[in-house]
């Protein structure tokens, strides 16, 4: 494996024999074992971690969960410290190289990739430093699973959790982090108390609601455009130990949407989402999945009052809260076992305003057969605009809207994948025509003009923040916003 790892204090002492310490392998590197700098890089500063350019590391960083876009970097930094991130961003700035953080690489359309630049693999910075009522202080490569593993023994958890726990903190904070509690608490980006970030200028800055608020608001949901997040303090709230989970059937989409809106406004449940359920005769019905967290005697009648689910469809299970958070682990394990976890995933993720949801979702479903999804789910989450506070997280203008996810698993067939991506684009166009927006984790080809339309009246603010925090435009080209990327 090609690697470069040096510590400055060794330089003058024993540079001839030992040139550094590999913190991952926990061994000293001798000059005989050291490989040359990655092609295209020279005078890289001494690092605590590793700078890799072996084919396997480059290939891994050139791919993501979508497996439809590949852009190869010239090097992958596995930082051994925050200082390494500062040094590499400054190095990239001075050498006009593009650079992007990569969390778990679970975005689907090249968002974490860099063509001929440097990828920072944040998974080596994943320490959970502190968990208490004031929040969880974590390095940004930590996965949300690590946070809840540390916080649940104290009866605490982040207010909003994604369905999948093995996403990095940095990855979801650059996008949004939406889950079944977002109708109450906002997205994960709305539940951050403080950040340490490295701007595109190479400045390590602390920001919060009161300190550098422009940077704070820009970075959260900022698609990696302004800074690389290195540490975050995440809000925690007390949680109750038991989740009572209701699954309620709906054959009629309009009725489901009315009930989703009702529970989004009255907030009777802690968690709400809906999933399309393929019907034996073809087409889809729906299941509303709603959870209530409890420590004592539940009042189910009050929870279900006024909801118009199909008679006899109601199911109820009660499991520990921790098990509820990890509920999709068995599904993912089954996909891994079936060998489809590494298939292409041309996902479609859209926000649809309430007033158009019935018409839009019905027409989209008419084009999607269960077979065409490859076993992937179609999901709906009710969301409220007033709960979302970050300017670059673009959502519909109406107070109530829905995240509409079509989580396709495609066969390893380029023709099928391209057709599904074209379908995503067509569905996006129709969503935009009714005031919808995209959630930028998915797979939709996007032009510069599309990005301008996406940010709308905030586009000018985006350019101002970009000029202030990443003036050389080196950060996160994989989003494609400023013209170079897959979009
Ligand atoms: C099985 C599965 C389930 C999912 N469930 C949900 C869900 O319930 N809710 C939801 O909202 N999303 C969900 N997602 C989508 C997920 O939130 C995004 O794909 C997210 O980007 C994944 O995090 P990551 O660590 O893999 O990020 P990456 O894919 O590695 O990165 C995503 C983007 O963030 C940037 N980035 C990463 N780290 C940093 C950093 N430290 N500083 C600045 N920018 C950074 C990258 O450059 C890239 O542009 C799911 C994805 C999968 C595969």
- Closest Cα to atom 4, ligand 1: which residue? 164
Return the CA Rg of the chain. 23
pLDDT digits (tens, 9 = 90+) for 329-354: 999 999 999 999 999 999 999 999 99
How far, in Å, is the centroid of ligand 1 from the Cα of 386?
Answer: 23
Residue 150, CA atoms < 13 Å, CB-side half-sphere: 20
In the numeric block, the tokens 């970097």 are attached to 73
188 lines ligand 1 (CB under 6 A): no
Residue among 196, 345, 388, 441 to mutate when testing ligand 1 (max atoms within 8 A of CB): 441
How much of the chain exceeds pLDDT 90, in percent?
A: 86
105 lines ligand 1 (CB under 6 A): yes
Say if residue 25's pLDDT is above 70.
Answer: no
Cα–Cα distance measured from residue 96 to residue 62, given in angstroms and rounded to the nearest whole number: 20
Cα–Cα distance measured from residue 244 to residue 421, given in angstroms and rounded to the nearest whole number: 38
309 lines ligand 1 (CB under 6 A): no
pLDDT value at position 355?
A: 98
How far, in Å, is the centroid of ligand 1 from the Cα of 362?
Answer: 28
221 lines ligand 1 (CB under 6 A): no
Looking at residue 342, the DSSP 8-state letter turns out to be: T
Transcribe 257-310 into DSSP letters. HHHHHHHHHH--SSEEEEEEEE-TTSSEEEEEEEEEEESS---HHHHHTT--PP
342: tokens are: 């590494």
164 lines ligand 1 (CB under 6 A): yes
Please, what's the b/e burial string for 364-383 (b: 16 or more CB within 10 A of its CB; e: otherwise)?
Answer: bbeebebeebbebbbbbbbb
Closest CA to 122 of 112, 110, 137: 112
How far, in Å, is the centroid of ligand 1 from the Cα of 350?
Answer: 16
Confidence of residue 111 (pLDDT cuts 50, 70, 90): very high
How far, in Å, is the centroid of ligand 1 from the Cα of 252?
Answer: 33
63 within 8 A of 71, measured Cβ to Cβ: no
Cα–Cα distance measured from residue 68 to residue 443, given in angstroms and rounded to the nearest whole number: 9
Say if residue 27's pLDDT is above 50.
Answer: no
479 within 8 A of 223, measured Cβ to Cβ: yes
Confidence of residue 36 (pLDDT cuts 50, 70, 90): low
**Mean pLDDT, residues 126-138 taken together:** 97
Q: Which atom of ligand 1 is nearest to the CA of 161?
A: 8
220: tokens are: 């959260």
Mean residue pLDDT of the chain comes to 92
Closest CA to 353 of 389, 383, 398: 398
Instruction: For the chain, give the number of residues.
Output: 487
445 within 8 A of 346, measured Cβ to Cβ: no
pLDDT digits (tens, 9 = 90+) for 280-303: 888 899 999 999 999 987 889 999
| DSSP SS3 for 59 | helix
Residue among 148, 166, 170 to mutate when testing ligand 1 (max atoms within 8 A of CB): 170
pLDDT digits (tens, 9 = 90+) for 311-327: 999 999 999 999 999 99
222 within 8 A of 232, measured Cβ to Cβ: no
Transcribe 345-365 into DSSP letters. ---EEEEEEHHHHHHHHHHHH
- Closest Cα to atom 36, ligand 1: which residue? 171
Q: Please, which residues bridge with residue 400 across strands?
A: 384
pTM (2 d.p.): 0.92
Cα–Cα distance measured from residue 21 to residue 23, given in angstroms and rounded to the nearest whole number: 6
Residue among 60, 89, 102, 186 to mutate when testing ligand 1 (max atoms within 8 A of CB): 102
Say if residue 425's pLDDT is above 60.
Answer: yes
Q: Which atom of ligand 1 is nearest to the CA of 219?
A: 43
Q: Between vectors from CA 76 to CA 72 and to CA 78, what angle results, nearest 5°?
A: 155
Angle (deg, nearest 10), helices 448-455 and 459-469 = 110
115: tokens are: 């063509």
Q: Decide which of 379 and 20 is more confident.
A: 379
Cα–Cα distance measured from residue 298 to residue 302, given in angstroms and rounded to the nearest whole number: 9
Residue among 68, 77, 107 to mutate when testing ligand 1 (max atoms within 8 A of CB): 107
Neighbouring C-beta atoms of residue 294, cutoff 10 Å: 17
pLDDT value at position 370?
A: 82
Q: Residue 318: phi, psi to the nearest 5?
A: -130, 120
In the numeric block, the tokens 């994989």 are attached to 478
140 within 8 A of 231, measured Cβ to Cβ: yes
Q: Between vectors from CA 192 to CA 187 and to CA 193, what angle results, nearest 5°?
A: 150
112 lines ligand 1 (CB under 6 A): yes
pLDDT value at position 24?
A: 39
171 lines ligand 1 (CB under 6 A): yes
358 within 8 A of 406, measured Cβ to Cβ: no
The answer for residues whose C-beta is within 8 angstroms of residue 414's C-beta and 6 or more apart is: none
pLDDT digits (tens, 9 = 90+) for 146-175: 999 999 999 999 999 999 999 999 999 999
199 lines ligand 1 (CB under 6 A): no
pLDDT value at position 482?
A: 87
Cα–Cα distance measured from residue 20 to residue 8, given in angstroms and rounded to the nearest whole number: 8
| End-to-end Cα separation, the chain, in angstroms | 32
Cα–Cα distance measured from residue 54 to residue 75, given in angstroms and rounded to the nearest whole number: 8
131 within 8 A of 156, measured Cβ to Cβ: yes
427 lines ligand 1 (CB under 6 A): no
- Closest Cα to atom 37, ligand 1: which residue? 171
Neighbouring C-beta atoms of residue 194, cutoff 10 Å: 18
């Amino acid at each position: 494996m090609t690697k470069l790892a040096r510590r400055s204090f060794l330089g003058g002492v024993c540079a001839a024999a030992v040139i550094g310490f590999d913190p991952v392998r926990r061994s000293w590197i001798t000059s005989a074992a050291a490989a040359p700098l990655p092609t295209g890089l020279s005078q890289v500063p001494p690092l605590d971690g590793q700078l890799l350019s072996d084919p396997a590391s480059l290939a891994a960083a050139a791919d993501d969960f979508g497996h439809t876009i590949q852009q190869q970097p010239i090097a992958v930094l596995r930082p051994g410290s925050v200082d390494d991130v500062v040094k590499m961003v400054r190095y990239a700035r001075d050498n006009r190289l593009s650079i992007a953080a990569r969390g778990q690489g679970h975005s689907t359309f090249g968002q974490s990739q860099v063509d001929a630049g440097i990828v920072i693999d944040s998974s080596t910075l994943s320490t959970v430093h502190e968990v208490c009522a004031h929040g969880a202080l974590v390095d940004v490569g930590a996965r949300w699973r690590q946070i809840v593993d540390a916080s649940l023994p104290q009866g605490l958890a982040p207010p909003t959790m994604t369905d999948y726990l093995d996403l990095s903190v940095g990855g979801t904070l650059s996008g949004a982090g939406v889950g079944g509690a977002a109708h109450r608490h906002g997205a994960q980006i709305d539940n951050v108390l403080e950040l340490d970030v490295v701007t595109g200028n190479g400045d390590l800055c602390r920001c919060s609601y009161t300190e550098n608020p422009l940077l704070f608001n820009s970075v959260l949901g900022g698609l990696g455009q302004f800074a690389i997040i290195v540490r975050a303090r995440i809000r925690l709230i007390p949680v109750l130990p038991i989740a009572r989970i209701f699954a309620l059937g709906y054959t009629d989409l309009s009725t489901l949407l009315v009930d989703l809106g009702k529970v989004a406004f009255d907030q009777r449940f802690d968690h709400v989402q809906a999933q399309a359920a393929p019907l034996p005769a073809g087409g889809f019905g729906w299941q509303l999945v709603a959870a209530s967290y409890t420590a004592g005697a539940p009042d189910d009648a009050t929870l279900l009052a006024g909801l118009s689910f199909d008679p006899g469809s109601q199911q109820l299970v009660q499991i520990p809260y921790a098990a509820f958070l990890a509920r999709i682990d068995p599904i993912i394990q089954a996909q891994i076992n079936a060998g489809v976890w590494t298939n292409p995933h041309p996902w479609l993720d859209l926000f649809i305003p309430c007033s158009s949801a019935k018409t839009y979702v019905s027409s989209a479903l008419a084009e999607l057969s269960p077979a065409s999804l490859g076993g992937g789910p179609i999901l709906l989450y009710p969301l409220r605009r007033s709960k979302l506070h970050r300017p670059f997280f673009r959502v519909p203008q109406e107070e109530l809207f829905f995240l509409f996810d079509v989580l396709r698993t495609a066969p390893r067939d380029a023709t099928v994948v391209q057709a599904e991506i074209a379908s995503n684009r067509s569905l996006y166009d129709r969503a935009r025509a009714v005031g919808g927006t995209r959630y930028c984790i998915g797979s939709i080809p996007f032009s510069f003009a599309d990005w301008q339309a996406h940010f709308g009246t905030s586009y000018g603010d985006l350019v101002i923040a970009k000029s202030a925090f990443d003036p050389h435009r080196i950060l996160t080209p994989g989003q494609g916003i400023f013209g170079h990327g897959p979009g």
